[in-house]
Amino acid sequence: MKIEDLLIKHEDLKLKPYICPAGHLTIGVGRNIEENGISEDEAMYLLRNDIIRVEKELKEIFPDFDELPYNVKLVLIDMDFNLGKTRFLTFKNMIQAVKERNWEAMIREMKNSKWCEQVEERCEDDVKLIEEVLGV
């Protein structure tokens, strides 16, 4: 028997956080994330996986995603990552502006959103990235 199999048998494998019998927030195979957290390498691994997931979501919405200007892709990834797909899809006018390559309308829709009020600096950074596409 491998050690991984023994630990999974005794600890179980949980893909969402849970409270262990000792009362600690735990994930995976008994990882006490309150005390042990995760390493920077683990955080970057999770981030890369999340970026891959978000890009797949965006390619469903924008079949020509790979042909979009780089800064537009950055902003779309940042927004979908932050909002989640369900809330991202509520940006119907912005999505349409992207499909029409209307970057001014994209900026307008971003700025006129509750999201922009909530995330302030993030929205400002994203708007600046789209303005670079416009040459502003």
Helix-helix angle 70-83:40-61, to 10 degrees: 110
Q: What is the pLDDT of residues 47-91, one digit of tens each?
A: 999 999 999 999 999 999 999 999 999 999 999 999 999 999 999
Residues in the chain: 136
Global pTM value: 0.89
Confidence of residue 17 (pLDDT cuts 50, 70, 90): very high
Q: What is the pLDDT of residues 44-57, one digit of tens each?
A: 999 999 999 999 99
Structure confidence at residue 88 (pLDDT): 98
Instruction: List, in sequence order, the alpha helices (H) in the chain.
Output: 3-11, 40-61, 70-83, 85-88, 92-99, 103-111, 114-119, 121-134
Q: Is the pLDDT of residue 136 over 90?
A: no
